[in-house]
Amino acid sequence: TTAYQICDDILVMYKGSVVEQGSVERVIRDPKHPYTRLLVESIPQMRADSGWEEGGDEVLSIDESGETTGCKFADRCPHGMDRCHDEHPTAFQINDDRVASCYLYDEMPIANRAPVAS
């Protein structure tokens, strides 16, 4: 991806909320937030034997009817839990330079730094 080639750190947003941030290499190679994972999987890959291969065949429905009190990605998330619809997740510290706003990581400590936007 272009981001991988031109920056050291990346911040991934969904509907105006930061869902993941960290070093571009770690985020692209091992995405933690389900939205980031789907984004990375959708990047077309060049195959030597057959040309371009498109990724990300899965399309999830979305309810655009109004504002949510929980995670903005909850309606599309393949790992969505009840609390995702009720509470907006905080930023959890995955490691020294990695933060993800997802209840899949609620066993991790809350990040010392706040995401740039929410």
* pLDDT attached to residue 54: 59
What's the number of CA atoms in the CB half-sphere (13 Å) around residue 37? 12
* pLDDT attached to residue 90: 92
| Residues 17, 118 contacting (CB under 8 angstroms) | yes
pTM: 0.77
* pLDDT attached to residue 76: 92
* Nearest-angstrom CA–CA distance, 28 and 46: 16
* Nearest-angstrom CA–CA distance, 30 and 33: 10
Q: What is the pLDDT along the chain (118 residues), one digit of tens a residue?
A: 677 789 999 999 999 999 999 999 999 999 999 999 999 998 887 777 766 555 555 544 555 556 678 999 999 999 999 999 999 999 999 988 899 999 999 988 888 754 444 4
Provide the 10 A C-beta neighbour count for residue 89: 22
In Å, what is the CA distance from 88 to each residue of 1, 3, 20, 32, 105? 29, 27, 14, 17, 13
